Amino acid sequence: MQQKIIILDFGSQTTQLIGRRVRELDTFCEILPYNKYPEDDSSVIGVILSGSPYSVHDPEAFKVELNRFVNRKPVLGICYGAQFISHTLGGRVEKADSREYGRANLQSFDAENPLFKGFTDNSQVWMSHGDTITAIPDGFRCIASTADVKYAAYAAENSPIWAVQFHPEVFHTMQGTQLLRNFVVGICGSRQEWSAASFVDTTVAELKQQLGDDRVVLGLSGGVDSSVVAVLLNRAIGSNLTCIFVDHGMLRKNEFRDVMHDYECLGLNVIGVDASAKFFKDLEGVSDPEQKRKIIGRDFVEVFNAEAKKITGAKWLAQGTIYPDRIESLNITGKVIKSHHNVGGLPKDMHLQLCEPLKWLFKDEVRRVGRQLGMPEHLITRHPFPGPGLAVRILGDITPEKVRILQDADDIYIRGLRDYKVRLSGDEARKVLAAGVPAAMTDGEIEVSLYDQVWQAGTVLLSTVRSVGVMGDERTYEHPVALRAVTSTDAMTADWAHLPYDFMAKVSNEIINKVRGVNRVCYDISSKPPSTIEWE
């Protein structure tokens, strides 16, 4: 039986990050709404309670019945989870004099407690809470403090319960991974059997059993997720898989040609469909972002459906749905946060069963599986790209000429990011290596491209705006473009990337000189939140 950690989600922005950290410890975990603890928990080896935007005193605060797992499974409360345990079991939680947010240091901790095994003195942690624990329940004791937070961590004396008011899952808690390792492996007893290699072996065997001799169709996008699904299925069922790659005319420059070549080199059975004329016709005159998405989504289904019906005997539709897609699509109140193209059902007239081999994986795990499958690195490290493509990076209506302008500008930008090398050390190097980017450490430094250093980059055409410029002896009245690059771990939050000035000057100059229709280049320095990564 596969061991697993249950993470109960109370609405924290970093709940997914807890899950990713546990998976990095080669341990399977499942993120569930706070009120959905499983009836059958025979495979559960531990429970983690996440943070929350609520105070334990709010009338609408999320609550869980602790007796369902307390004293039965090891429990770790994080931030709100720690406050909820204390508040429920007889401790006291009060509003802090000022919000405790940012870096702090453990001035004291119980080095004998298994949760802090291997910790160094003055270890940095990250706080983010408005309430604070002012008294812990009877039968508990303090095991760590900071200068401002007496009960930074506490534990039960005769029960497997631990709680911390800081966030071990975030990057700025320097020994956060060690703390989670102590809990997951040392306390819960994980056998650490979850890995890319074991996932590939197990999933290929399961797919062979599930699909048998049935035929499967898969819609390829050129992105990491669908590409990994294709190679995984190809290993399991070979020629019984047919992939369909639809070109809606708004891919990056030469992308359709290049990706088709990559897929053929991987030995995949791929049908390429150039449907750009249909998409451009149906998008003519449409400026509203949501309307653009709906038209592209509808047309994609129509084109894909028509091609899929030509495949005799197809019984399954494979999709590149990954775990964050399913977590984000419904929040813990049941309201849609963000709709995903891979979540929400199939066209009714297709009569196909759904196959989602990656549905339990986070993005970084998908990339590790791709490497395990021997896929080329440039496919594995591709940045996320929106399903509607450049249509949602063109402000205003869509025309082939606007797409041409954006493709040319974006091509210069992305190639520039790939070609520009930087040397990183310390925290910056750790971030890149933790994301799975292959790089050799030399004298404490690594060399990577700017492309590998950022999470996502792209160009936006402000086609509803024209700016005055001067080229030679003539005035121009053309469009500006905005460059976007962000750093992130999971796209739930993102910060703008601080790209080198010399790189930005070179790229700006090349775009203005070489792309007809552009006379100004801007750089987007907005973070998420409050902005989103994409402009539309």
The tokens describing 137, both together, are 């329940």
The number of helices, as runs of H, and strands, as runs of E, in the chain is 15, 22
Classify 459 as helix, strand or coil.
Answer: strand
Catalytic (active site) residue 167? yes
**Dist CA 169 CA 225 (whole Å):** 24
Place of tokens 């991987």: 266
**Number of Cβ within a 10 Å radius of residue 139:** 12
Handedness of CA 127, 131, 134, 139 (dihedral sign): negative
The tokens describing 27, both together, are 């341990």
Measured distance between the N- and C-terminal CA atoms of the chain, rounded to whole angstroms: 45
Active-site entry in 29, 100, 129, 167: 167
Amino acid at 237: I
Is beta strand 270-274 parallel, antiparallel or unpaired with respect to 241-247? parallel
**Number of Cβ within a 10 Å radius of residue 204:** 17
The DSSP result for 27-91, as a single string, is: --EEEEETT---S--TTEEEEEE---SS-TTSTT-----GGGTTTTS-EEEETHHHHHHHHHHT-
Catalytic (active site) residue 29? no
The DSSP result for 175-189, as a single string, is: THHHHHHIIIIIIT-
Of 523, 520, 522, which Cα lies nearest the Cα of 497? 523
The DSSP result for 310-337, as a single string, is: TSTTEEEEE----HHHHHHHS-TTS--S
Catalytic (active site) residue 79? yes
Phi and psi at residue 12, in whole multiples of 5°? -70, 145
**Dist CA 132 CA 99 (whole Å):** 9
Query: Annotated catalytic sites, by residue?
Result: 79, 167, 169
